[in-house]
Structures are given as structure tokens and as C-alpha cells.
Amino acid sequence: MSERVFRFRLNGTEVEGRAEPRRLLSDYLRDDLGLTGTHVGCEHGICGACTIHLNGRAVRSCLLFACQVDGAEVRTVEGLADARDPLSPLQEAFWEHHGLQCGFCTPGMLMTAAELLETNPDPTEGEIREAISGNLCRCTGYVFIVDAIRAAADKLGARGAERQ
């Protein structure tokens, strides 16, 4: 099968990609571009480890073919923090609240939580649990993950208040 050429923005940078149609976006990001922050767990849309943002929305990258992102804006966990900061406020909160144990689910949790906080800056615990219901943590460290997301909401809210 012939390769497809596609152009998209990846973490703010224009990329011209080339891949067979069957190439999953998750594999393309990890193996062709070396962006191994996106993790691959179940490869059928259950575990959420491969969650990325496509045009601002959290989606499973294992359920997308790389060539489908032609013309799209893609953000991976590598693009969460600003270039000048090593970690985003959300990532800092995960660090501070021990929101990870083995780290396998972490990139998917972060991308899911980032979308949540962008659309709902002040979520309740219930809303946080609902939002991450599609992300499996097999260390079962959900309590600290929920704490971290709530703390990130507080931190981002305080920053927003300072700016006003």
C-alpha cells in the first residue's frame, strides 16, 4: 500500500508526515516521530493511555490513522507545558500530589484532565471522576489523581484571579 502524505500542526510546529494508511496515529507519534510521551496500552480505545488532543478535543490516538490528521492541530503530552516551563501547572499538581505511581496512564490522564479544565475550570470531585472514567490506572491511584486535578484547578483559578 502506498504511503500517504499529510500536513498538520504538532505541538505548535508544522509537520509534513508520511505513513501507510494503516499506521495508527499512536504508533506514528511514538515510532516515527520519537514522541514516546504518548503511551500505548490496549490499542482498542479502552484504556485511555494514548489520549491526545485533536483540534482541542481529547481523543484516543490508537483509534485514528495518522493520515487522518491532515490539516488538523495535534497536541501531545510533550506540548502541555510552555516552552519556557518544564511542567504545566497541571503536571506540577500531579507531581506535588503524587498523582502517579508507575506513570503508564499519566500522559492520558494529563491530556484528559487538561481538556476537562479547559472546558470546566472548577470541576467537582464527581465531575473529575466522570471525566477520567475512560482512563485506566492499574496502580489504582485514582484518589491522588483526583486530588491533583482538583489542586490544578485551584492553582489555575488563582492565577486567573491574579491576572484580573
Partner 1 sequence: MKPASFEYVTARTVEEAVRALADSEGEGKCLAGGQSLVPLMNFRLARPPLLVDLGQVDELRQLRHDDDGSLVVGALVTHREVAGSPLIAERVPLLAEAAREVGHAAIRNRGTIGGSFAHADPVAELPCVGLTLDAEIVAAGPHRRRTIAAADFFQGPFTTALAADEVLVEIRFPASGAERSGWAFCELARRRGDLAVVGVAAQLERRGQRLSARIGLAGVAGRPVRAVAAEAGLSGATPDAASFRAAGEAVAASLAPPSDIHGSAALRRRVASVLTERALERAARRLEAA
Which of 29, 49, 62, 109 is in the footprint of partner 1 by CB under 8 A? 62
Q: For residue 53, how far is the Cα from the chain centroid?
A: 6
134: exposed, middle or buried (Cβ count in 10 Å: 0-12, 13-18, 19+): middle
H runs (alpha helix) in 65-164: 89-96, 106-119, 125-131, 142-163
Residue 65 is classified by DSSP as B
Which of 44, 82, 163, 164 is in the footprint of partner 1 by CB under 8 A? 44
Which of 29, 58, 137, 152 is in the footprint of partner 1 by CB under 8 A? 58
- Chain positions 107 to 136 lying near partner 1, rule: CB under 8 A, are 112, 115-116, 130-131, 133-134
- H or E stretch covering 54: strand 51-54
Does position 149 interact with partner 1 (CB under 8 A)? The reply is: no
Binding site for partner 1 (CB under 8 A): 1, 4, 20-22, 24, 27, 42-45, 48, 51, 54, 57-60, 62-65, 67-68, 70, 112, 115-116, 130-131, 133-134
